[in-house]
A and B are shown apart, each in its own frame.
Chain A
Amino acid sequence: MEEFKYLIPEESIDAIMNNVASLREIEGHLRDVFNKHDYLEVLMPSFEYVDLYNDMDIGIEEEKMFQFINYDGKRVALRADFTVPLARLYSSQNEKGEKRYAYFGKVYRKEKRHKGRSSEFFQAGIELLGKPGFEGDLECLSIIQQTLQYLQLKEVKIEMSSAKFYKRLCTLVDDSTFVEILQKRDISAMQSLIERKNIQSPLKELLIKLPGCFGDIIVLNQMIEMIQDQELKDALIELKDLNEKLDVKSQECFSFDLAMTPSMKYYTGIMIKGYSPYAAEPIINGGRYDHLMSHFHKDVPAIGFSYDLSHILKALEKEEEANA
């Protein structure tokens, strides 16, 4: 057993030593921005019932959670995400109307072995409950814009899309393989799918273009022009309207990716993902989730997003190396 003294389990993250200072600095700036917008910082429990996550059907597979059986014989998991516990908090506190939560802490999800990925992630984020539609979206997007400078990364790309657009596409294509094809942006498989299902214009052209459908407002405008289906069109016009309501500074921050697939199953409106060329995974994740609260028999619209500070720190380090 001697050797265990020197090792950490494969799941663990390396101790952050050199860059604790940068982590705390970024965290501090984020906290200031969140505070300024009246977000209440909450310290969430580390353990949640596995069934809470399962019943919400959010797309975190059970095998990805770190689980144990508690004294009650119930299955308990290390916190795998913040949104679900915060939704529970809102519900159990019998909150009504608008509520703003901010959080800082780790989430735990099992990653594949020997892939150089750790299973704990330090996240910071906010959830805005009870504020529907544009107003809520705008508040969140503007907070992202205000925080960007504090991440200290020189090159960041933040993309928006619409879960409504995605869901309508799935309905129109109506094929069990479509989601995977879109997730993989598999142009060849998309072609075969079009042939197999005998999909006609203009949906056909749309599907062929889709894997490359990301970029600035021009991409969005082109798609709006091209699309015939009213529901698809409306979803994109909504996105365009939202973008127009942003101030110029924010507009410069955001671009679009219409081939985005929801990273969480609960998204119902706008979806947000941020990237750094120096991080292999997204550094910002978020979206509107207006139906999640219905699991608690409540009709409360909500939107939230999180920063993955572990990935941001790694990216910072690599960016500095690259520019050194």
Chain B
Amino acid sequence: MLKIAITKGRIEKQVCQLLKANGFDMDPIINKDRELLIETSDGLSMIFAKANDVLTFLEHGIVDVGFVGKDTLDDSDFHDYYDMLDLQIGKCYFAVAAYPEYKTKEFKRRKRIASKYTHVAKKYFSSKQEDVEIIKLEGSVELGPVVGLSDAIVDIVETGSTLKANGLEVIEKISDISTKMIVNKVSLKFKKDEIFQLMDGLKGEE
């Protein structure tokens, strides 16, 4: 029995579609109500959780495999897992966004950057050798510049329409994001065949 944790919401839908397209039985998942733990006829036991919790379950060995966005991995300070496969779905990117004048404006103080992804923001600006003040916001990060809390934001950009609607634009792209399949290090040793089978299925190489 392979135990899997999937990030609830968009990733859950996309991964299930991908698995279904590759011949896995996904009916129990598609028809599920509010259950959080489901077993399929292929011997997969699936739980659905918030992105960061997928990582927590994986590192404790509660699940063998996790499906989670690269954004979550990048912003986590835990790295003791195998990050084996890029599913090439849920693609978007991290970017610095601000009002257009940000580019030309001369700052006489540390810039203030709002972000939900403080690790990513910190890492990016330190790689630019820029000392900035980072302010954590939990959602609607675009509000930062709009209400004058921050000079710019670091956030996920998918289509850019929210930015545009608020007069903001992408200043610089930081890195690509997509959905990843991650594997518990010990599980890989003891469930090699099952895990590689799942991986081949996801790659469409059965």
Contacts and interface: CB of A to CB of B under 8 A. Distances in A.
Contacts of B206: none
A179 interface: no
B107 interface: no
Nearest to A280: B61
Contact of B84 (A157, A186, A257): A186
Given A184-B83, A184-B84, A211-B84, A115 B188 contact: no
Contacts of B81: 184
A187 B85 contact: yes
Contacts of B189: 157, 159, 214, 257, 275, 277
Nearest to B178: A188
Residue among A112, A116, A157, A188 with most chain B CB within 10 A: A188
A6 B56 CA distance: 27
A281 to B, nearest CB: 8
A159 B189 CA distance: 10
Interface in B122-180: none
Contact of B190 (A189, A212, A277, A281): A277
B59 interface: yes
Residue among B60, B84, B196 with most chain A CB within 10 A: B84
A160 to B, nearest CB: 13
12 contacts: A157-B189, A159-B189, A184-B81, A185-B188, A186-B82, A186-B83, A187-B85, A212-B196, A278-B61, A279-B186, A280-B60, A280-B184
B199 A187 contact: yes
Contact of A187 (B56, B84, B187): B84
A215 interface: yes
A184 B60 contact: no
A188 B85 contact: yes
Nearest to A283: B186
B59 A115 contact: yes
Interface string B77-96: 11111111110000000000
Nearest to B61: A280
Contacts of B105: none
Nearest to B73: A184
Interface residues of B, number: 25
A184 B180 CA distance: 12
A192 to B, nearest CB: 9
Main secondary structure of the interface of B (DSSP, over half): mixed
Residue among A116, A212, A278 with most chain B CB within 10 A: A212
A161 to B, nearest CB: 13
Given A112-B78, A189-B86, 16 more contacts: A115-B78, A155-B190, A157-B189, A159-B189, A184-B81, A186-B84, A186-B86, A189-B83, A211-B82, A214-B192, A276-B186, A277-B187, A280-B60, A280-B61, A280-B185, A281-B80
A45 to B, nearest CB: 29
Interface residues of A, number: 24
Contact of B60 (A116, A157, A214): A116
A215 B86 contact: no
Contacts of A280: 59-61, 184-186
B186 A188 contact: no
Interface in A155-172: 155, 157, 159
Interface in A246-305: 257, 275-281
Nearest to A113: B77
Contacts of A184: 79, 81-84
Contacts of B183: 185
Contacts of A185: 82-84, 183, 188
Contact of B77 (A112, A187, A215, A279): A112
B53 to A, nearest CB: 12
A277 B186 contact: yes
Interface in B52-88: 56, 59-61, 77-86
B201 to A, nearest CB: 14
A184 B188 CA distance: 12
Contacts of A281: 80, 186
Contacts of B80: 281
A116 B80 CA distance: 13
A100 B188 CA distance: 35
B192 A212 contact: yes
B186 A275 contact: yes
A185 B85 CA distance: 9
B179 to A, nearest CB: 11
Contacts of B185: 280
B204 to A, nearest CB: 14
Contacts of A189: 83, 86
A184 B74 CA distance: 13
Residue among B77, B85, B183, B196 with most chain A CB within 10 A: B85
A189 B188 CA distance: 18
A63 to B, nearest CB: 11
